[in-house]
Amino acid sequence: MSRRKTLRHIHQLYSDGTPITMVTAYDFTFARLVEKADLDIILIGDSLGNVIQGQDTTVPVEVDDIIYHTRAVMRGNNTAHILADLPFMSYQAGADDALRNAGRLLKEGGAQAVKLEGGEPVAHLVERMSQAGIPVVGHLGLTPQSVHAFGGYRVQGRGDEAATQLLADARALQEAGAYMLVLEMVPADLAAKVTEALSIPTIGIGAGNQTSGQVLVIQDLLGMNSDFKPKFVKRFAALEETIVDALSAYGDEVRHRAFPDDDHSY
Ligand code: KIV
């Protein structure tokens, strides 16, 4: 009997008003730790382009990359709801592509649901996938796959026109069958308004604390990169320092032939 959280668990948290906890993970080791921390959802995000592959943007990420990392995550975590990103150009060219690639994330990766970026223009894709039995999450606000169109990573939805459009996009995605929305880098009052207007959960990242839940990239919340600190990231640990200290101690002991000592030898 699987202990994995399903769509029904997520809906239950939402109806109970219990904030939903989501974090990214891309491998067995972190996925195992996420299970121990009992977080609700793991997102195998295309942010793996940045934090795993070292790319400048998420644009180069391939469907095969997401499948590979989703499989690794599945082996490390038996309880979280598993959501996988549809990467850039795996759905934008049309519904057949979207359906085929979303199907691969479920069949080959083992994901329970997929996420795509965009509002009204992708609503017809959400509808096709939902009708095919694929649970879909939308992503509005700062949508990193469009970084070149935005000209950088900036707060979205500022001003009346942009806020009205974001609300219309959110409604269109819900109407098309999306079961949850990620809101990234939007003003807190707009995120609260969108959350209030919808009957599906919203998950915020840089969207204030009135959304139905929160998501952060795991390396960011663990403080693993001191060079990257947008305002919305809170570091709940300082692992960069801890890891560098441990690696330096290991290097010193090896160089001085202090490791391995008798306790670590056969
Ligand atoms: O790819 C990702 O990690 C994401 C989150 C930032 C929501 O889409």
Q: Is 184 a catalytic residue?
A: yes
Average pLDDT over residues 62-84: 98
Average pLDDT over residues 215-221: 98
Give, using CA atoms, the residue closest to atom 4 of ligand 1.
Answer: 45
Q: Which of 47, 63, 153, 214 to mutate to test the pocket of ligand 1 (most atoms within 8 A of CB)?
A: 47
In a domain? residue 49:
yes
Report the predicted TM-score, pTM, of the whole model to 2 decimal places.
0.97
Give the number of domains in the chain. Answer: 2
Of the residues 108, 120, 175, 184, only one is catalytic, namely: 184
pLDDT digits over 79-102, tens only? 999 999 999 999 999 999 999 999
Looking at residue 5, its pLDDT comes to: 98
Looking at residue 2, its pLDDT comes to: 81
Task: Tell me, in angstroms, the distance from the centre of ligand 1 to residue 86's CA.
Answer: 11
> The domain that contains 144 carries what CATH number?
3.20.20.60
DSSP E strands in 59-124: the ranges are 81-85, 113-115
In a domain? residue 1:
no
In a domain? residue 2:
no
pLDDT band at 1 (very low <50, low <70, confident <90, very high): low
User: Atom of ligand 1 at shortest distance to CA of 85?
Assistant: 1
Domain that holds residue 101: 7-235
Is the same domain home to 204 and 82?
yes
In a domain? residue 135:
yes
pLDDT digits over 236-259, tens only? 999 999 999 999 999 999 999 999
Task: Tell me, in angstroms, the distance from the centre of ligand 1 to residue 260's CA.
Answer: 41
CA-CA distances (angstroms) from residue 174 to 107, 127, 140, 190?
25, 10, 12, 17
In a domain? residue 187:
yes
Please tell me what DSSP assigns to residue 18: P
Is the same domain home to 122 and 176?
yes
Q: Which residues line ligand 1 (CB under 6 A)?
A: 24, 43, 45-47, 85, 139, 182, 184, 205, 215, 217
Is the same domain home to 159 and 247?
no
DSSP E strands in 32-108: the ranges are 41-44, 81-85
Is the same domain home to 127 and 242?
no
Is the same domain home to 60 and 43?
yes
Q: Which two tokens stand for residue 44?
A: 């195998």
195, pLDDT greater than 70: yes
Looking at residue 77, its pLDDT comes to: 98
Is the same domain home to 39 and 77?
yes
Cβ-Cβ contacts under 8 Å for 201 (sequence gap 6 or more): 10, 11, 13, 14, 20, 179, 180, 181, 211, 212, 213
pLDDT band at 261 (very low <50, low <70, confident <90, very high): very high
Is the same domain home to 214 and 248?
no
Largest CA distance in the chain: 70
Is the same domain home to 246 and 183?
no
Is the same domain home to 163 and 31?
yes
Is the same domain home to 225 and 246?
no
User: Atom of ligand 1 at shortest distance to CA of 47?
Assistant: 1
In a domain? residue 138:
yes
Is the same domain home to 164 and 65?
yes
Average pLDDT over residues 226-234: 95
In a domain? residue 246:
yes
Q: Which two tokens stand for residue 164?
A: 């009205």
Task: Tell me, in angstroms, the distance from the centre of ligand 1 to residue 85's CA.
Answer: 8
What is the phi/psi pair of residue 117, to 5°?
A: -100, 145
Q: Which of 53, 142, 215 to mutate to test the pocket of ligand 1 (most atoms within 8 A of CB)?
A: 215
Give, using CA atoms, the residue closest to atom 8 of ligand 1.
Answer: 45
**Average per-residue pLDDT in the chain?**
97
Is the same domain home to 68 and 162?
yes
In a domain? residue 76:
yes
Judge contact between 217 and 51, C-beta under 8 A.
Answer: yes
